[in-house]
Structure 1
Amino acid sequence: MKRQAARPLTGLALLLAVYLCAPFIASIPEIGRADWAGVDWHTAASAVGVSVASASVASLIILLGGVPLGYCLARSSSRGLAVLGFIVQLPLALPPLTSGVLLLFLFGPYSGIGSVIGGLTDSFTGIVLAETFVAAPFLVVAARSAFAAADPVFEDVAATLGHHAGSRFFRVALPGAWPTIRAGLVLAWLRAFGEFGATVMVAYHPYSLPVYTYVVFGGQGLPAMMPLLLPTLAIAVACAALSAYRRGATEPLSAALADSADEPLVIAARPVSAPAAEDPRLVFRLARRLGAFSLDIAWAPATRRLAIIGPSGSGKSLALRLIAGLETNEAGGVTLGATDLGALPPEARQIGYMPQDYGLFPHMTVAQQLAFPVHADAAAARYWVGHLGLGALENHLPKQLSFGQRQRVALARALTRHSHLLLFDEPFSALDTPRRRRLQQSLRELQREIDAVTIIVTHDPDEAALLADEILVVDQGRVLQAGGIDEVFARPATLRAAELLGLSNVGCGVVHAARRIELAPGWIVEADCAELPIGTPVMWRLATHAIVLTPDGPHEARVAAIELRRGERFARLDVGGARVDVALNGTRLDEGQQCRFSVDAAGVSAWPGSLRTVCA
């Protein structure tokens, strides 16, 4: 059921609608007073032809120059283009007669151009020049708005799929903006067709329809002019009908939108994969300053399944864009095996890039998406269509696909080009937990099939642990820790790294005596640390099972909080300023209560660290 409009808004809408319709209604009784016999139909037809032809020529000129101009204005942040954008809109604010005077200064018989070329005024050319000047802003504004509203990620994805700037504009940017541009073009044509003020100043002859209507009105009065309204009304009605016309009804959403469409991938016996590089190691040094934020990270992992983890705003996505060549790397470089990717534009890097919403082009079907990459391998495309369960979806648009189906289409599109590097920017962030887990498992299976290096950007530690063999922890544009998954999760380098990895029962302390560590002021436990000298600053971690609540335990704590995690109750204990979590397992504790516990030395791990850095 359609939502009813708010009553005050309905009243205002009806008020304006009545006013706009009233002149048409008022003209109906006047039809009988029109002087049909006195009309010079030959001259009137000529005027209609001049207006239609000049408006069409002017619109073509406006289209050819206005669309690129709107694109440049939308994509550039330079002050010069901002000033230009202001100037090209001035004809909208000028009275038409003023526009005509300005054009006479440029093209009039006594101007520099007019004296050299001559014949620009009082000619068909003069009419086109006048109409182009006053109508162009309608298209330029529409094009600028359309390109500014379009998500630039589509052009970024097209670049990583091998398309140069011109191809990205005509095949991605322009089709997406075309509906709005088309509306602006109709407005520009109508404005040119009905232009009077500038035209009468620049080119009184040959008569355009508005000028001829004015001449008849001035010489013969309203009855003789009324028949000339018919062609104008007819053309206006035709344009309005075209604007209101919509091609067909919206296609129904695919029945495959059900959750069952996001089933795990079926692993084939003979997978098709990209040719392996001689040395698939990825090495990079990335540096970029954006306002007050600066990114400066370096990494040389030894494996092919990688993850970058960090909080929002830490530079994860920026790092991925620098690797893809979509942002300027201000220092260092990017190499994949023997290939210097940093020296190549994004379209030449032979990579696959998946942004958070997968970057599927909204105007392309699944089949068109898979054929879009430059040098796409048709055999590989057919393989991945069948392998990823996309055979029944080839004629579907992205809006008809579920999130899981979109992800698989984006994967197939990247793999049809034999990409050696796949970049995933939080591909599961918008999904619910059950679906996210299924698709994570699917991607993990895919990683085992292909030879490409994969980088997953995420803020989910579980996702990083599942999909990567090595992990890079970043915060505020800097590296906190890098290494193998097991190593980093077992021994976080700092408390901040431990927090970002989702680890609990981690802190910093000092070796108190042989086989004893002071975890917090006054809290000393036994631990296997005989190899560490007394007084050594350390990072420590307590296994959850090492903490046992018992009435006669040697350690005392205050219950800081009670939390429910995945159906199990945990108590957060405050021990000398350190916080540790313990599973209650049926034990009844209340927030603020004092309790006692023991610590199993076998569950205590410690490793050297600097108090200046680990406790920051």
Structure 2
Amino acid sequence: MTPAAQVTAQATVKRSQPLWWLGALLAVYLCAPFVASIPQIGQADWAGVDWHATWSAVGVSVASASVAAVVILLGGVPLGYWLARSRARGIALIGFVVQLPLALPPLTSGVLLLFLIGPYSGIGQLFGGSLTDSFTGIVLAETFVAAPFLIVAARSAFSAVDPVYDDVAATLGHHAASRFFRVTLPIAWPAIRAGLALAWLRAFGEFGATVMVAYHPYSLPVYTYVVFGGQGLPAMMPLLLPTLGIAIICAVLSVYSRGARSTLAVKLDNGDELTTITPGATASDSGNLRLAFAARRHLGAFTLDVAWQPQTRRLAIIGPSGSGKSLALRIIAGLERNDAGSVTLGATDLGALPPERRQIGYMPQDYGLFPHMTVAQQLAFPVDADAASARYWLAHLGLDALTQRLPHQLSFGQRQRVALARALSRHTQLLLFDEPFAALDTPRRRRLQQSLRALQREVGAVTVIVTHDPDEAALLADEVLVIEQGRVLQAGVVADVFQQPATLRVAELLGLHNVGEGIVRAGGTIETPTGLRLPCADTSLAVGSRVMWRVSPRALVATQDGAWPGCIAGTSLRHGDRYVAVEIAGVTFDIAAEDAPASQSGELRFAIDANGVLAWPAHGA
């Protein structure tokens, strides 16, 4: 550690000392009663203990708490899920009411229960008074006061489960019930299990509500109160030991994670690269399979209204954040409602099918691997997973040695390959990728893009990539759809769109330089808004028409007899190549650094080669 780091660490420790003291003070106070009870073990009246009555009370408390816990589990998990996921009116009020027993004094809870099930209430009379002073009464009292512990835990657990897991499971063929029991519940279960243990312990130790509703038979807390009233403090230790022992066991269960495994991230040397692919090894014959869609969706002030009928299989949707590109992908997958539109794949009307029947592969940004499943379980999860295909992709993508690893034990590249193998194990004809490389650093992103491109050449599926990276779109797609604010700006073959963007905004989104608008003038020149007249070899453009133009960086040359004076405005680095920005008559151009003038001071003049100026009709002209 450097001296500066040591000073910083010491300063941090010094600033945090008051917090440590406060925490330590509370910890001492919470531990002190347990320490104080240790000397009482030897002073307790062990001879006067009625062991039969004691163990009977323990049995009643254990049995009633267990029955209450089962009731709470069966109702609390669905209620917690509903509170976490529902957007219905009044859901917040219901959530508040079901947690009220946490704030009520236990005796108050008991009185409220007597109003409901007491011997003089309507329900109590219906059951002949059997709901009080009975084992049933104890269970009802314990359920009322302990249920909020599980409900709160379940609600928090389900809220923390990323909905993307449910989306991915749906695209892999699972209906709602299957997704809940095989994906959502297992992910949330550790927190729910902790809440269940606390709820059981709360029910086991409940006194106030129980003594009001069911004084008999004696539960352990009630029996402890009775013995204390008759025999005093010396008789307490024998009764407290079972309670303390059971409490310790429950506390351990509440924090124990049965599925805990090593969190060491394992990365192989080739962890981010696909193995060598033999083109055509398992490519399916997709024939003339094509995707076409019209997506319309209203979300508050935002409206998505895009339509596209591409003619190739490798597609990309590009646009800035918030443009609606991911929403369009989710509509194709069936994960969002299409207010008025259609989605077809060849002759199949996907729009008429729920997501679990669309036979697609959907990969969100983080690949959507289920955190509780090993690689082998991930590949076996799709409803129609083909075992032979899964084995093939395991070997083909270099995953054979990773089958027993969980997602957190895989590198980013390995996770991507597992997600690909899972999608491909069901012979899907449509693969949807939502920003699959957005969270990666540049070197890793480039490697994985090349890997995915190699895979695209092998499989026969239609692939749709959602991205904001124009280079990624150019590499992974043959056709591109450019959208912004829910509207189509331009669509077409990648080469055409990049060569001739429809508007300056499209050029900006595609990262294109040396692009602008102008008016065609006599003599084959294009006049820019700043008055610069660019020479153009294309004589087919009508004089006076509005056009878009693009100047090749190689078309600008610094020369002493150049027709245009200019100055150096700065430098930039793109994809490892250095460019120099040159300003001529108010227009900024990028030229290759090697073509820039050796001296960047004094009078600079530039020549523009007319053959390097491309022009085309502007959008709407």
**TM-score normalised by length of structure 1:** 0.95
> In the alignment, which of 212, 218, 223 is matched to residue 207 of structure 1?
218
Report whether the alignment pairs 1:56 with 2:75.
no
The question of 1:580 aligning with 2:550 is answered no
Question: Once the two structures are superposed, what CA deviation does each residue of 1:451-473 show, in whole Å capped at 9, x if it has no partner?
Answer: 11100011111111111000000
The aligned runs of 1:271-350 (5 Å cut-off) are: 271-274=281-284, 276=286, 279-350=288-359
Please report how far the alpha carbon of residue 434 of structure 1 lies from its aligned counterpart in structure 2 after TM superposition.
Answer: 2.0
User: 1:250 offset after TM fit, Å?
Assistant: 3.8
Equivalences, count = 608
Which of structure 1's runs of 4+ aligned residues deviate more than 6 A? none
- Map of 1:447 onto structure 2: 456
- Give 3-state SS (helix, strand or coil) of 1:582's partner: strand
How far apart are 1:196 and its partner, in Å?
Answer: 0.6
**Does the 8 Å contact 2:274/2:398 carry over to 1?**
no
Contact 2:62-2:204 at 8 Å conserved across structures: yes
How far did residue 44 of structure 1 move?
Answer: 1.1
1:480 to 455, 469, 489: 489
User: Matched residues in 1 for 2:259 and 2:457: separation?
Assistant: 44
Question: Which of 178, 195, 201 in structure 2 is aligned with 1:184?
Answer: 195
- Residue 269 of structure 1 and its aligned partner are, at CA, apart by 6.3
CA offsets, 1:86-116, max 9 Å, x none?
A: 1111111111111111111111111111111
Residue 345 of structure 1: how far off its partner (Å): 0.7
Separation in structure 1 between the aligned mates of residue 615 and residue 96 of structure 2, nearest angstrom: 64
Closer/same/farther in 2, CA of residues 73 and 275 from structure 1, 3 Å limit: farther
**Does 32-41 or 370-379 show the bigger shift?**
32-41
Residue 70 in structure 1 maps to residue 80 in structure 2: yes
CA distance in 2, matches of 1:270, 1:543: 38
* Larger mean Cα displacement after TM superposition, 30-39 or 480-489: 30-39
Q: What SS does the aligned partner of 2:528 have?
A: strand
Distance 2:475 2:364 in 1: 19
Among 11, 26, 36, the alignment partner of 1:26 is: 36
8 Å CA contact retained: 1:51, 1:208 = yes
- Tell me how far apart the structure 1 counterparts of residues 379 and 254 of structure 2 sit (CA, whole Å): 33
Aligned to 1:220: 231
Secondary structure of the corresponding residue to residue 262 of structure 1: coil
Amino acid at match of 1:199: T
Shift in Å at residue 448 of structure 1?
1.2
Point out the more displaced range, 558-567 or 153-162: 558-567
**One of 562, 569, 573 as aligned partner of 1:553:** 562
Deviation digits for residues 274-318 of structure 1 (CA, Å, limit 9, x no counterpart): 463x64111111111222222111101011100001111111111
Partner Cα separation in structure 1 for residue 259 and residue 122 of structure 2: 53
Q: Are positions 1:36 and 2:57 aligned together?
A: no
Amino acid at match of 1:334: V
2:156 aligned to which of 129, 145, 148? 145
Partner of 1:512: 521
CA contact (8 A) 1:520 1:576 kept: no
Q: Percent identity?
A: 70
Query: Residues of 2 paired with 1:126 and 1:249: CA distance?
Result: 39
Any idea what SS the aligned residue of 2:439 has?
coil
| Contact kept? 1:325, 1:346, Cα under 8 Å | yes
Alpha-carbon distance in structure 1 between the residues aligned to 2:599 and 2:205: 81
Asked if 2 retains the 8 angstrom alpha-carbon contact of 1:560 and 1:573, the reply is yes
Report deviation, 1:567: 4.8
Distance in 2 (CA, whole Å) between partners of 1:369 and 1:250 is 17
Aligned pair partner of 1:121 in 120, 132, 153: 132
**Partners of 1:267 and 1:563 in 2: how far apart?**
37
Give the structure 2 partner of residue 607 of structure 1.
616
- Counterparts of 1:482-501 in structure 2, within 5 Å, are 482-501=491-510
Note the C-alpha offset of 1:521.
3.1
- Identify unmatched segments of 5+ residues in structure 2: 2-8
* 1:564, distance to aligned residue in structure 2 (A): 3.4
| Structure 1 residue 175 corresponds to structure 2 residue 180 | no
1:416 and 2:425 matched: yes
Q: Counterpart in 2 of 1:393? A: 402
Q: CA offset at residue 9 of structure 1?
A: 3.1
1:431 alignment partner in structure 2: 440
Partner letter of residue 489 of structure 1?
F
**What do you get for the CA RMSD once the two structures are aligned?**
2.0
Question: Out of 593, 604, 612, which is 1:595 matched to?
Answer: 604
1:251 equivalent to 2:256? Answer no
CA contact (8 A) 2:172 2:382 kept: yes
Cα distance in 2 for residues equivalent to 1:246 and 1:373:
27
Shift in Å, 1:236:
1.3
TM-score, normalised with respect to structure 2: 0.94
Aligned to 2:321, the other structure's residue is in SS state coil
Q: Which residue of 460, 465, 474 maps to 1:456? A: 465
Displacement of 1:56: 0.4
**In 2: Cα distance, 1:564 partner to 1:441 partner:** 22
Match for 1:272: what amino acid?
A: T
2:576 is the counterpart of 1:571 = no
3-state SS of 2:56 partner: helix
**8 Å contact 1:514–1:529 — kept in the other structure?**
no
The aligned residue for residue 502 of structure 1 is 511
Distance 2:228 2:82 in 1: 44
- Alignment deviations for residues 110-145 of structure 1 (CA, whole Å, 9 cap, x no partner): 111111122111111111011011100000100110
Report the AA paired with residue 57 of structure 2.
A
Contact 2:279 2:458 in 1 (8 A): no
Distance change >3 Å, CA 7–CA 589, structure 1 → 2:
farther
* Cα deviation, residue 17, structure 1: 1.2
Counterpart mapping for 1:234-245 below 5 A: 234-245=245-256
SS in 1 for 2:480: strand
Alignment partner, residue 364 of structure 2: 355
C-alpha distance after superposition, 1:205-241 (max 9, x if no partner)? 1110001111111222222233211111111122233
How far, CA to CA, are the matches of 2:264 and 2:481 in structure 1? Answer: 40
Q: Partners in 2 of 1:307 and 1:439 — Cα distance?
A: 16
Counterpart pick for 1:79 among 72, 86, 89: 89
Check the 8 A contact 2:194/2:253 in 1, yes or no. Answer: no
Specify the alignment match of 2:104 in structure 1.
94
Distance in 2 between residues matched to 1:147 and 1:201, nearest whole Å: 35
Question: Structure 1 stretch 27-36 or stretch 315-324: which is displaced more?
Answer: 27-36
